Every structure is written in structure tokens, then in C-alpha cells.
């Protein structure tokens, strides 16, 4: 871990409601995976602004350091697929800070393609990062939060975790799993004072859309992810607006943080009629494939 600049403590009282707490008079402490880029980076910024001591953790260690330098937090190189590394980081932060208030299991990859062209490598890699990465974070942090009697786990899923999102089956499957994991854990954790939320954003303007299928065979859908997302959404959601939604949702201890409004509408459509939602998704496939 590097760049451990400490944040002063008292917070503005908005967003996460973060304030200097009782534990050794230290500022609340958060780990944000995927903190080098996009949504994770914006979450690091917002938490830092609120006086939370943040550790930006990422496979892209240099990127995490840049986040740390920019927003006055700490950074760590971390591969979330490595269970032991995740546990070591979580335990180290708790030991050094004396508390662990938030863990944002946010790191993820985009994987796209038609069902017939995606290989088992696409599936395995997506499951490793998007699902196991979250499992590792939960498995390491939850016992610590139970022992503390408080803490908030915030997992990033996707609107694809609530809807039948086609042309990215492994992604959709892992994000549905993260939603299920998070809601079920929330039910277990409630009696112990531990909070669990899950973030389900629609297409958001981050670098994720420019490097789909990282280290994997490329597909037409993967290489055109930004264009497809823009055609589907009309306009991509801004990462700053999403970070504000996340801060508000976390402060209010929402089970699900779904944004933007068009995403909430799509989710409502799925609940009203799953088969109609599949028909709409099939139309979108036809439109995207020309
Ligand atoms: N951008 C979108 O449209 C969108 C929509 C819904 C959900 N999401 C989800 O939001 C999360 C953040 O995505 P983003 O849009 O900010 O993407 P991004 O590519 O900008 O950031 C993702 C970060 O995760 C890191 N990462 C990837 N694999 C890792 C690993 N094995 N260990 C540690 N770090 C790793 C990357 O280095 C990167 O810094 C992801 O879980 C993504 O699935 C994104």
C-alpha cells in the first residue's frame, strides 16, 4: 500500500454521512476495488471529499496511485481474483486503521459477444473477476464487520444484473449473481448491524466500454461496445452523476442503487412482464446486429 495520506476526519455530513468516528478518533475507512478508473475512481473522489480514509485498490497499480495522489487517499495493487491477496489487503487495512467501514467491491470487466462466439475462456475470466472478485471481498470483509458490529459492503453489479441483457451472457450471468449474493447477504447481515447494498448502473461513460474482452479473443460486439451502448441508451450516463447516486444510496442504506432513471424504468418493466422484457431485448439484438 502506498501514498497513505490521511484525511483530516470531519466530513460535510452529506453523502455517506461519513464523520470521524469513535475508533481511535480515526476517520472512517474504505477500500474501493477498481479504484484506478471510471466508477471506482469517482467513488474514491467522493468518499475522500467526505473525509473518509480511502484505499484505492486496482490491478492497475499505477492508476490506483494516480487516484491516490489526486484525491489524497492511499493505494494498493490488487488482483481481486487472488483470494489471498484480497484477504491480506482487507486485514492489513483493518489492522493499520483500527476499523473498516466500507468495502466497495467494484472492480469488473466487460465481456461481450454472441452466445455462440464466446469461448469458455470468456466465461471463466468473467466469473473470476466479476463474481469471484466480489466473493473474495465479501468473504474477507464480512467477518471483520460482524466482529465490529458495523460496516457497509457495496457491490457493483449492473442493470445487466436485473434485466435479460443479451450479447454479453457471462457478464449478465455474473451480475445477476452479484445482485442475488448482495440481497441475500443483506438479509443475513441486518441483525448484526452490517449493511449491504448493490449498485446497478446502466451504461455509464467510463473506459470499460473501450476495452471489452480484455486479454480475450475479440468479438464484433466487444469491439463496438461503446457504440452499441450509445445506440441502446441514447446517451451514456455520466460517471459523476452515478457517483452522486451511489453516495446518496449508501447514505440511505438502499438495498439496490439503480441508475439512471431509464434503468429503473427498464427494471420495472422486467418485474411487470419478464416475457415482454425478453421480447424488447430481442428487438434490441435485431437492431444492433442490423
Ligand atoms: N461503465 C458501465 O457502463 C458499467 C455499467 C454497469 C456496471 N458497471 C460495472 O462497474 C464496475 C466498474 O466499471 P467501470 O465502468 O468503472 O470500468 P473501468 O474499466 O473504468 O474500471 C474498472 C477497473 O477495474 C479494474 N480491474 C479489472 N480487473 C481487475 C482485477 N482482476 N483486480 C482488480 N482490479 C481490476 C481495472 O483495472 C479498472 O481500473 C464494474 O464492475 C462494471 O462491470 C459498469
Closest CA to 33 of 100, 145, 101, 108: 108
Mutate-to-test residue for ligand 1 from 107, 179, 203, 225, highest number of ligand atoms within 8 A of CB: 107
Q: Cα(23) to centroid of ligand 1, in Å?
A: 31
Query: Which residues does residue 76 pair with via DSSP β-bridges, in sequence order?
Result: 57
Report the Cα 41 to chain-centroid distance in Å.
11
Write the pLDDT tens digit of every residue in 130-167. Answer: 999 999 999 999 999 999 999 999 999 999 999 999 99
What pLDDT score does 233 carry?
82
Write the pLDDT tens digit of every residue in 179-232. Answer: 999 999 999 999 999 999 999 999 999 999 999 999 999 998 888 899 989 988
Q: How many CB atoms lie within 10 A of CB 94?
A: 20
Mutate-to-test residue for ligand 1 from 32, 35, 38, 56, highest number of ligand atoms within 8 A of CB: 38
Asked whether the predicted pLDDT for residue 85 surpasses 50, the reply is yes
Mean pLDDT for all residues in the chain: 92
What pLDDT score does 9 carry?
32
Asked whether the predicted pLDDT for residue 23 surpasses 70, the reply is no
Are the C-beta atoms of residues 31 and 95 closer than 8 Å to each other?
no
* 270 Cβ contact partners less than 8 Å away, ≥ 6 residues apart: 162, 163, 164, 277
Are the C-beta atoms of residues 212 and 225 closer than 8 Å to each other?
yes
Ligand 1 touching residue 174 (CB < 6 A): no
Ligand 1 touching residue 40 (CB < 6 A): yes
Q: Cα(105) to centroid of ligand 1, in Å?
A: 10
Cell 486503521 belongs to residue: 97
Ligand 1 touching residue 203 (CB < 6 A): yes
Minimum mean pLDDT among 18-22, 74-78, 120-124, 174-178: which range?
18-22
Write the pLDDT tens digit of every residue in 165-179. Answer: 999 999 999 999 999
Q: Cα(38) to centroid of ligand 1, in Å?
A: 7
Asked whether the predicted pLDDT for residue 7 surpasses 90, the reply is no
Are the C-beta atoms of residues 24 and 99 closer than 8 Å to each other?
yes
Ligand 1 touching residue 201 (CB < 6 A): yes
Ligand 1 touching residue 67 (CB < 6 A): no
In angstroms, rounded to a whole number, what is the distance separating the alpha carbons of residues 21 and 27?
6
pTM comes to 0.93
Are the C-beta atoms of residues 277 and 163 closer than 8 Å to each other?
yes
Q: Which three cell numbers stand for residue 143?
A: 467477518
Q: Is the peptide bond before 221 cis (omega within 30 degrees of 0)?
A: no
Q: What is the mean pLDDT of residues 80-96?
A: 98
User: Cα–Cα–Cα angle for 228, 249, 69, nearest 5°?
Assistant: 75
- Per-residue pLDDT band for 16 (boundaries 50, 70, 90) equals low
For atom 21 of ligand 1, which residue has the closest CA? Answer: 37
Ligand 1 touching residue 78 (CB < 6 A): yes
Q: Which secondary-structure segment (H or E) carries 190?
A: none
User: Which residues are catalytic, by number?
Assistant: 171
Domain 23-265 sits in which CATH superfamily? NAD(P)-binding Rossmann-like Domain (3.40.50.720)
Amino acid at each position: 500500500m502506498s501514498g497513505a495520506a490521511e484525511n483530516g476526519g470531519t466530513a460535510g455530513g452529506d453523502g455517506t454521512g461519513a464523520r470521524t468516528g469513535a475508533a481511535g478518533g480515526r476517520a472512517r475507512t474504505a477500500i474501493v476495488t477498481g479504484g484506478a478508473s471510471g466508477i471506482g475512481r469517482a467513488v474514491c473522489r467522493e468518499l475522500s471529499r467526505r473525509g473518509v480514509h480511502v484505499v484505492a485498490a486496482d490491478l492497475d497499480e499505477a492508476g490506483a496511485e494516480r487516484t491516490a495522489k489526486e484525491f489524497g487517499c492511499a493505494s494498493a495493487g490488487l488482483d481481486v481474483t487472488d483470494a489471498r491477496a484480497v484477504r491480506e489487503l482487507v486485514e492489513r487495512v483493518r489492522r493499520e486503521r483500527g476499523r473498516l467501514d466500507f468495502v466497495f467491491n467494484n472492480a469488473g470487466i466487460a465481456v461481450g459477444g454472441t452466445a455462440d462466439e464466446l469461448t469458455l475462456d470468456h466465461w471463466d475470466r468473467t466469473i473470476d473477476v466479476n463474481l469471484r472478485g466480489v466473493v473474495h471481498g465479501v468473504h474477507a470483509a464480512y467477518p471483520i464487520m460482524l466482529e465490529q458490529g458495523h460496516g457497509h459492503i457495496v457491490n457493483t453489479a449492473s442493470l445487466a444484473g436485473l434485466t435479460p441483457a443479451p450479447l454479453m451472457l457471462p457478464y449478465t450471468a455474473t451480475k445477476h449473481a452479484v445482485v442475488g449474493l448482495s440481497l441475500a447477504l443483506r438479509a443475513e447481515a441486518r441483525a448484526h448491524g452490517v449493511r449491504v447494498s448493490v449498485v446497478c448502473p446502466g451504461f455509464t461513460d467510463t473506459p470499460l466500454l473501450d476495452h471489452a474482452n480484455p486479454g480475450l479473443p475479440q468479438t464484433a460486439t466487444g469491439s463496438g461496445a461503446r457504440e452499441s451502448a450509445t445506440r441502446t441508451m441514447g446517451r451514456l450516463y455520466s460517471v459523476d452523476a452515478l457517483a452522486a447516486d451511489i453516495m446518496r444510496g449508501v447514505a440511505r442504506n438502499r438495498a439496490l442503487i439503480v441508475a439512471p432513471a431509464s434503468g429503473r424504468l427498464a427494471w420495472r418493466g422486467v418485474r411487470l412482464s419478464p416475457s415482454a422484457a425478453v421480447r424488447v431485448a430481442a428487438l434490441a439484438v435485431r437492431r444492433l446486429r442490423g
